[in-house]
């Protein structure tokens, strides 16, 4: 039962616009969501990371391991995201 619940949770997390921060990368590096969707980033690295929109729309505090940050995307568009601590970490969020 636990294995089945875990499998469902992982699939459900992917369906609910989850982004994992691990190995100094956003995964997935590109995601498409519907307008009105909330994206959740979770840091699984042992180092802190931030989630920053290059246009200044949002910026998380430093996320320690297992911390998460959420943002609701109300408007269609392409949003560039990076880590303010490690600017080489980049991601694109496309909102339809």
As a whole number of Å, the end-to-end CA separation of the chain is 36
Task: Output the pLDDT for position 91.
Answer: 98
Q: How far is CA 85 from CA 22, 35, 63, 82, in A?
A: 14, 28, 10, 9
Task: Output the pLDDT for position 16.
Answer: 65
79 by Cβ neighbours in 10 Å (0-12 / 13-18 / 19+) ranks as buried
Q: Which CATH superfamily is domain 17-95 in?
A: Cupredoxins -  blue copper proteins (2.60.40.420)
pLDDT tens column, 22-53: 999 999 999 999 999 999 999 999 999 999 99
Task: Output the pLDDT for position 81.
Answer: 98
Tell me the pLDDT band of 9, cut-offs 50, 70 and 90. very low
β-strand 37-43 against 90-95: which pairing, if any?
unpaired
pTM: 0.83
pLDDT at 3 over 90: no
């Amino acid at each position: 039962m636990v294995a089945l619940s875990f499998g469902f949770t992982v699939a459900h997390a992917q369906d609910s616009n989850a982004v994992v921060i691990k190995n100094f990368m956003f995964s997935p590096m590109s995601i498409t969501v519907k307008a009105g969707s909330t994206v959740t980033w979770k840091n699984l690295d042992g180092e802190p990371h931030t989630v920053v929109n290059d246009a200044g729309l949002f910026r998380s505090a430093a996320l320690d391991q297992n911390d998460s940050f959420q943002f609701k995307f109300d408007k269609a568009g392409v949003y560039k995201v990076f880590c303010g601590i490690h600017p080489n970490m980049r991601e694109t969020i496309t909102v339809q």
